[in-house]
Amino acid sequence: MKILVTGGAGFIASHTNVELLNAGYEVVVLDNLLNSSPESVRRVEKLTGKKITFYQEDLLHEEAVCKIFEAEGFDGVIHFAGRKAVGESCQIPLAYFDNNITGTLNLLKAMERYDVKKLVFSSSATVYGQPETVPIREDFPLSVSNPYGRTKLMIEDMLRDIYQSDHSWDIALLRYFNPIGAHESGEIGEDPNGIPNNLLPYVAKVAAGQLECIQVFGNDYDTPDGTGVRDYIHVVDLALGHIKALEKLNTHPGLVTYNLGTGVGYSVLDVIHNFEKACGKKLPYRITGRRPGDIATCYADPAKAKKELGWEARWGIEKMCQDAWRWQSNHPNGYRS
Ligand code: UFG
Say how many Å lie between the CA of residue 224 and the centre of ligand 1: 17
pLDDT in the model for residue 72: 98
Q: How far is the CA of 199 from the centre of ligand 1 (A)?
A: 6
Strand partners, 122: 174
For the chain, what percent of residues have pLDDT higher than 70? 100
pTM: 0.98
Q: Which residues are catalytic?
A: 148
Which positions of the chain have pLDDT values less than 70?
Answer: none
Q: In what order do the strands lie in the sheet with 266-267?
A: 266-267, 229-230, 297-298
Residue 87 CA to ligand 1 centre (angstroms): 11
Q: Which atom of ligand 1 is nearest to the CA of 200?
A: 20
Q: What angle do CA 130, 128, 247 make, to 5 degrees?
A: 155
pLDDT score, position 337: 83
What confidence score (pLDDT) does residue 252 get?
A: 86
Instruction: Judge if the beta carbon of residue 176 lies within 6 A of ligand 1.
Output: no
Nearest CA to ligand 1 atom 1: 199
The CB of 96 under 6 Å from ligand 1? The reply is no
pLDDT tens by residue, 253-270: 999 999 999 999 999 999
Q: What is the pLDDT of residue 36?
A: 96
The residue contributing the CA closest to ligand 1 atom 12 is 228
The helix-helix angle for 317-330 and 268-279 (nearest 10°) equals 60
Asked whether 299 lines ligand 1 (CB < 6 A), one says: no
Q: Distance (Å, rounded) from C-alpha 117 to C-alpha 164? A: 13
Closest C-alpha to ligand 1, atom 3: 216
Domains and CATH numbers, the chain: 2-181+233-262+301-313 (3.40.50.720)
Rounded to whole angstroms, what are the CA distances from 127 to 100, 139, 144, 229? 15, 11, 6, 17
Please say whether the beta carbons of 148 and 96 come within 8 A.
yes
Task: Indicate the DSSP class of residue 302.
Answer: -
What is the SS3 assignment for 37? coil
Q: Which residue has its alpha carbon closest to ligand 1 atom 26?
A: 178
116 CA to centre of ligand 1 in angstroms: 35
Q: How far apart are CA 18 and CA 50, in angstroms?
A: 9
The predicted pLDDT at position 166 comes to 98
| Ligand 1 near 125 CB (within 6 A) | yes
24 C-alpha to center of ligand 1: Å?
34
Whole-number CA gyration radius for the chain: 19
Around Cβ 274, how many Cβ atoms within 10 Å? 21
Query: How many alpha carbons fall within 13 Å on the CB side of residue 179?
Result: 29
Where would I find the beta strands (DSSP E) of the chain? Answer: 2-6, 26-31, 52-56, 76-79, 118-124, 170-176, 178-180, 214-217, 229-230, 232-234, 255-260, 266-267, 285-288, 297-298
How many Å lie between the centroid of ligand 1 and the Cα of residue 198? Answer: 5
**Residue 202 CB–ligand 1 contact under 6 Å:** yes
CA 101/CA 217 separation, integer angstroms:
30
With the C-alpha atoms ordered 253, 257, 260, 261, is the resulting torsion angle positive or negative? negative
Q: Whose CA is nearest to atom 34 of ligand 1?
A: 178
